[in-house]
Chains A and B, each alone.
Chain A
Amino acid sequence: MKYLLNVTTLTHSPDKCTGCARCAEVCPRGVFEINAKKARITDKDLCMECGACAKNCAFGAITVNAGVGCASAVINGMLSGAEPSCDCGNDTGACC
């Protein structure tokens, strides 16, 4: 299942990439593929901006504006003027 097209902020710079394959290991959407010692983005629109790839790339080859794609978080953020924040983890601790 794919969400909106052409919105993801994911970028990959092959220059910095060493082909270590961490990104392919962590991506839960199968966005990366390793080809000839470099990672390659297969289908950008599959990306859900979780940030796992960028966080685990030791060579800074990936950037993505990571966040939770959660409407109530975004709306909360709009209302409070702060960054979107998921309300599922306040101290009353709902079973998220």
Chain B
Amino acid sequence: MNALKKPKKDENVAQAGEGCCGGPAPEGVAACCVKDAEAKAIGEEGCGCGTAPVQASTPPSACCAPPPKDPPLSEERKPCWSPASDFKPRATRVSSDLTLSDRLKHLRCRLGAYRMSYSVAPGLYAVGEPTKTSDVFVSANYGMSFDHLRKALKGTDSWILVLDTKGINVWCAAGKGTFGTAELVERMNSVRLAETVSHRRIILPQLGAPGVAAHAVKEKTGFRVYYGPVRAEEIKQYVEAGYKATKEMRTVGFSFSDRLVLTPMEINPAIKIYLLYALAILIIFGLSPSGISFREAFTNGLPFLILGLAAIFSGALFTPLFLGHIPFRAFSVKGLLTGLVSTLIVSRPLGIASMSPLLQGAVFLFFPALSSYIAVQFTGSTVFTGLSGVKRELKYAIPAYMAAAALTLLLVGAYKLKEWGLA
């Protein structure tokens, strides 16, 4: 296991020290090296080794803005301390600290506030002062994936290779194949990774494995793929352990807080449809043979608006949060149960019991079914529901939803006819 040897850091230091001008300039100073910086500080021309202003750590990402066509390359200037070799890695330097604005972007992404993707330009990035022996970590060009990785690499000298996954996270992109063998191989070639580093190992996030065939990468590039841990935060631990992950680091967790951060993505779309639903309710209850009455619409429709909200929250919030505690395995059944309970609880103070039996029937049919339908959508966000299971569940659930919707319409229709004295 020679490849597993840890890169020697002092090689880097040696290279830097041997340069013509005393090593790299202090960060953020427009100079090519220490001597250059000193010369400029006292108002001279510089040391004469051909400088361009250093671009201070380029902000790696613009949330929801299309990625820049060409990644900004901060290393295009010829650093005079670089080792004598024809090939100079072209990489963008990034900071491993997340700024407040990065964090705000994450929050807004979580809340689904962005329609455009939060992406980073694909290419090679440098954290710290990576050398030919430094590790190469691969990331998706989804801003959050990239940010988690660079934060996890704080204090290391590493390369980050960002693949073009169309701004989608590693897991989803691997499922689609955009985080895949072809893109990886192509990107490794286009940044000339084989010349950038002297070793032949490349570390991928484990959740990218559904898209990448490690043996095919080896065949095409000579690099051996190492799958890192599932969570970026454990990367340093993984490297220190000699590129080994414990079983715990290999398996996905799905804690209460993991689920909580996903719920806004469930609630948001439901609320959008809710607005249409509210309009329909107001029309149904306002409609009378003599036209639409707004007073009637609000007083009679209000309980149903509240019931609708309760069903959304039971399906999109309570079911995901208490997933493991709700009996039965099928999400549709879980959602049905929470929907029944929430409908029961909410209907008491709303006085549903004193309404027409036709309406009562519709209430206890429609709202639990709605909650169930919304709960089923959460299968898309979980990390343990497989395609075959979801198909099996939907085979029964979809006809049931359709039947429930049709019956509800019939009941409400019958109620309206009765109200108008037509039946």
Q: Which A residues have a C-beta under 8 Å from some C-beta of B?
A: 1-5, 7-9, 22, 24-30, 46-52, 55-56, 58, 65-75, 78, 84, 86, 88-89, 91-96
Contact B166 A91 (CB under 8 A): yes
Cβ contacts under 8 Å, A30 to chain B: 247, 250-251
Cβ contact within 8 Å between A28 and B173: no
Question: With A30-B250, A52-B210, A69-B382 given, is the CB distance from A93 to B390 under 8 Å?
Answer: no
From B110, B210, B324, B390, contact of A66 by CB (8 A) = B210
A6, B65: Cα distance in complex, Å: 44
Of the residues A1, A4, A71, A89, contact of B172 by C-beta under 8 Å? A89
The winner among B110, B381, B393 for most chain A CB atoms within 10 A is B393
0/1 interface trace, chain B 164-179, chain A, CB 8 Å (1 if under): 0011110011111010
Query: Residue among B178, B207, B380, B381 with the most chain A CB within 10 A?
Result: B380
Q: Which A residues lie within 8 Å of B119 (CB)?
A: 93
**In the complex the two chains form, is B387's CB within 8 Å of A28's CB?**
no
Given A26-B206, A92-B115, verify A49-B247 contact (CB < 8 Å). Answer: no
Contact partner of B175 among A7, A71, A86, CB < 8 A?
Answer: A86
The answer, yes or no, to whether B300 is at the interface (CB within 8 Å) is no
CB pair A93–B391 under 8 Å, yes or no, is no
Given A67-B387, A73-B380: A95 and B227 interface contact (C-beta under 8 Å)? no
User: Interface SS of chain A: helix, strand, loop or mixed?
Assistant: loop
Give the contact-size bracket for chain B.
35 or more
In whole angstroms, how far apart are the Cα atoms of A67 and B172 in the complex? 11
Q: Which residue of B lies closest to A25 (CB)?
A: B227
Q: With A3-B329, A70-B390, A86-B380 as known contacts, state yes or no: A95 contacts B209, CB within 8 Å.
A: no
- B379 lies within 8 A of chain A by Cβ: yes
Among B109, B142, B214, B387, the residue within 8 A (CB) of A84 is: B387
Q: Is B114 an interface residue (CB 8 A)?
A: yes
Question: Counting CB contacts under 8 A, is B116 at the interface?
Answer: yes
* Beta-carbon nearest neighbor of B116 in chain A: A93
Q: Are B214 and A28 neighbours in the complex by a CB distance under 8 Å?
A: no
